[in-house]
């Protein structure tokens, strides 16, 4: 597989994500900065975003691609203007230990954060004020937290080996998913909120039925800690990044491994798809970001578009067949 190398960080890269419009990439690093990149050319856009006083664990774009939220080892969350690189308002403070993850809600009005202090918090993205009480129930640090696409639920992954699903309105945990035998490093919903994918230190990736809380597939192949796993935009594929120095692509429905990309001796911290699913961006401990082409999926998308381009389809069908 072809890949493009992006260099600029001076320490390991912890998160790499595309903007929803597919034009840019944001990377978060232990060097305490976030860097924004042109997704097509791989060129750095502007100066690094500086303001955190310790390593940055995660960065994520707002739904309109205009803002970035970052989570840091300095126990704070920051919001940034993605165009100017300027910090918006003051850091969000309240967590009592490092913040491992932060993400916007689908409407961009709220932020959810996950912390090593074992709590999840929800914030007003405009005012920076905490909304309600912390979501508490995990018995150890929380490594990731994310909204469902309808904004009604949050999924969290914890060092207590569990995944929890929370009702945003009530702040109550409505289900706890058991099955991993090690820390759960990440958990995310698919596009319609019916499935969850999780990555664990038990070397596996798992998929789950949200309604029943039952495990669906156990994806085996990694030989060390799996640091992250996420769905592509339509939930058909999963990409995982692991300490075995590989990025792997899987069919979500069958659990079959489609492709393995090896990084020699460098641990891969995070990998995610571009919005059109034609590329994957990964960040690793060698301080480098790589943008990978995914030919099998690209060919499938092109063939599907050609096949369905002249048919009368509903908006949902057009998204399903990669026509918009």
Domain boundaries, the chain: 7-293, 295-324
CA distance 215 to 209: 6
Sheet holding 163-167, edge to edge: 142-147, 153-158, 163-167, 172-177
CA distance 270 to 7: 16
Q: Is 159 within 8 Å of 145 (Cβ atoms)?
A: no
pTM for this model (two decimals):
0.90
What is the pLDDT, as a whole number, of residue 310? 77
Three-state DSSP state, 44: strand
Three-state DSSP state, 173: strand
Three-state DSSP state, 315: helix
What is the pLDDT, as a whole number, of residue 294? 77
Half-sphere exposure in the Cβ direction for 85 (13 Å, CA): 15
β-strands 77-81, 56-61 pairing: unpaired
Tokens 């009480």 belong to residue:
133
Question: Which tokens in the block code for residue 306?
Answer: 């050609």
What is the pLDDT, as a whole number, of residue 323? 59
pLDDT tens column, 142-182: 999 999 999 999 999 999 999 999 999 999 999 999 999 99
Three-state DSSP state, 198: strand
What is the pLDDT, as a whole number, of residue 99? 98
Q: Is 25 within 8 Å of 13 (Cβ atoms)?
A: no
Residues of the chain under the 70 pLDDT cut: 1-2, 295-305, 317-324
Three-state DSSP state, 155: strand
Q: Is 81 within 8 Å of 40 (Cβ atoms)?
A: no
Say whether domain 7-293 belongs to CATH 2.130.10.10.
yes
CA distance 254 to 243: 24
What is the pLDDT, as a whole number, of residue 2? 63
């Amino acid at each position: 597989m072809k890949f493009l190398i992006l260099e600029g960080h001076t320490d390991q890269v912890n998160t790499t994500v595309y903007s929803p419009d597919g034009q840019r990439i944001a990377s978060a690093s232990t060097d305490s900065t976030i860097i924004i990149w042109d997704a097509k050319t791989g060129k750095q856009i502007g100066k690094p975003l500086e303001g955190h006083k310790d390593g940055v664990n995660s960065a994520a774009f707002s739904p309109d691609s205009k803002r970035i939220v970052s989570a840091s080892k300095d126990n704070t969350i920051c919001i940034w203007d993605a165009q100017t690189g300027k910090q918006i308002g003051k850091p969000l403070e309240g967590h009592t230990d490092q913040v491992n993850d932060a993400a916007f809600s689908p409407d961009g009005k709220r932020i959810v954060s996950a912390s090593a202090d074992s709590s999840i918090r929800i914030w007003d993205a405009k005012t920076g004020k905490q909304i309600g009480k912390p979501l508490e129930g995990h018995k150890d640090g929380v490594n990731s937290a994310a909204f469902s696409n309808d904004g009604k639920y949050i999924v969290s992954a914890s060092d207590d080996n569990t995944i929890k699903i929370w009702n945003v309105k009530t702040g109550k945990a409505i289900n706890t998913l058991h099955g991993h035998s090690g820390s759960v490093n990440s958990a995310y919903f698919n596009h319609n909120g019916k499935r969850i994918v999780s990555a664990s230190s038990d070397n596996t990736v798992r998929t789950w039925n949200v309604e029943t809380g039952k495990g669906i597939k156990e994806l085996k192949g990694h030989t060390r800690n799996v640091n992250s796993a996420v769905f592509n935009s339509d939930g058909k594929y999963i990409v995982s990044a692991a300490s075995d120095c590989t990025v792997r692509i899987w069919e979500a429905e069958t659990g079959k491994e489609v492709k393995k990309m090896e990084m020699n001796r460098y641990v891969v911290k995070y990998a995610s798809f571009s919005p059109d699913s034609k590329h994957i961006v990964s960040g690793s401990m060698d301080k480098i970001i790589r943008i990978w082409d995914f030919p099998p999926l690209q060919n499938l998308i092109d063939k599907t578009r050609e096949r369905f381009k002249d048919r009368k389809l509903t908006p949902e069908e057009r998204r399903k067949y990669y026509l918009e």
